[in-house]
C-alpha cells in the first residue's frame, strides 16, 4: 500500500466543517444505500457536524488515519528509503504507510517495511507515536533489528540505504513525523536508554 503521507510542514489549520477538511475528501454518498448525504449535527447529543443519510439515517464518521512503520537499525546505522511516489517523491523517509484492515499495528508496520525496503529484520519494541491532528493522522513506529545489510526495495522506493547519524539528510527528509522520530532515537541512543515517545505536531 502506498505510503501516501501528506507533508505536514505546510498544512494550515482546518475548521470542523467538511468543506474545509484537508486530510480527507468530504463524504458525499451513503455507504449503505448510496443516497447523497447531508452534513448536520445528529440528534443523538453529538456536538459536531456529521455526514448523515436522509434516506436510511445512517451517520457516517470521518476518523483519523493510522500510519505504521519501523525504524530499522544495523549497528550504528539506520535504514532510510527514498520515496518513488508522491507526495515528496525523491525525499527520504522511514519505511511506513497506511495501516490496512484485518491487521494489527505491528503487522502493518512489518508489511510496510518489507514492501518498501525488502529488508530482513526482527520487530522490536514500540518506539514513537506522533499525533498530527491537523491532517487527521496518527503515526506509529516500532524499532526493528536488521538481519542483513542487503535490501530489495519495491516499486514505491527509489533507494534503500543505511545512514550513520552524521550522514542523515535532514534537509531532504519527506516528513516531520519521521525526522522527529529519528531525533528521539539518536537522543535515546546517546543517553543509553530507549523509551517510548509521544509527540504532537502542529
| Long-range Cβ contacts of 111-115 (<8 Å, 24+ apart) | 112/1, 112/3, 112/68, 112/69, 112/70, 113/69, 113/70, 113/72, 113/144, 115/1, 115/154, 115/156
Query: How would CATH label the architecture of 19-63?
Result: Single Sheet (2.20)
pLDDT in tens, 105-164: 999 999 999 999 999 999 999 999 999 999 999 999 999 999 999 999 999 999 999 999
Q: Is the pLDDT of residue 5 over 80?
A: no
Model confidence band, residue 8 (pLDDT cutoffs 50, 70, 90): very low
Q: Residue 51 CB: number of other CB atoms within 10 A?
A: 21
Domain boundaries, the chain: 19-63, 65-200
How many helices (H) and strands (E) the chain has is answered by: 2, 11
- pLDDT at site 24: 58
Query: pLDDT tens digits for 87-109?
Result: 999 999 999 999 999 999 999 99
Whether 57 contacts 75, CB under 8 Å: no
> Of 187, 184, 181, nearest to 8 (Cα)?
181
Indicate yes or no: pTM above 0.85.
no
Nearest CA-CA partner of 112 in 91, 129, 96: 96
CATH superfamily of 65-200: Nucleoside Triphosphate Pyrophosphohydrolase (3.90.79.10)
Taking the C-alpha atoms of residue 158 and residue 145, their distance in angstroms, rounded to an integer, is 22
pLDDT in tens, 32-85: 999 999 999 988 888 889 888 999 988 987 889 999 999 999 999 999 999 999
What's the CA angle centered on 158, arms 127 and 93, to 5 degrees? 25
Amino acid at each position: 500500500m502506498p505510503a501516501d503521507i501528506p507533508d505536514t510542514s505546510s498544512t494550515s489549520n482546518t475548521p470542523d466543517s467538511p468543506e474545509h477538511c484537508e486530510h480527507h475528501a468530504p463524504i458525499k454518498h451513503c455507504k449503505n444505500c448510496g443516497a447523497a448525504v447531508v452534513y448536520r449535527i445528529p440528534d443523538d447529543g453529538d456536538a459536531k457536524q456529521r455526514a448523515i443519510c436522509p434516506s436510511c439515517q445512517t451517520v457516517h464518521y470521518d476518523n483519523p488515519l493510522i500510519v505504521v512503520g519501523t525504524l530499522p537499525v544495523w549497528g550504528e546505522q539506520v535504514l532510510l528509503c527514498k520515496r518513488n511516489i508522491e507526495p515528496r517523491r525523491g525525499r527520504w523517509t522511514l519505511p511506513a504507510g497506511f495501516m490496512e484492515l484485518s491487521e494489527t499495528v505491528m503487522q502493518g508496520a512489518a508489511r510496510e517495511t518489507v514492501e518498501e525496503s525488502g529488508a530482513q529484520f526482527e520487530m522490536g519494541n514500540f518506539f514513537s507515536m506522533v499525533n498530527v491532528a491537523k491532517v487527521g493522522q496518527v503515526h506509529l513506529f516500532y524499532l526493528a533489528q536488521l538481519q542483513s545489510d542487503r535490501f530489495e526495495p519495491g516499486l514505491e522506493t527509489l533507494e534503500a540505504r543505511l545512514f550513520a547519524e552524521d550522514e542523515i539528510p535532514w534537509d531532504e527528509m519527506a516528513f516531520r513525523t519521521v525526522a522527529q522520530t529519528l531525533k528521539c532515537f539518536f537522543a535515546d541512543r546517546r543517553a543509553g536508554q530507549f523509551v517510548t515517545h509521544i509527540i504532537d505536531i502542529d
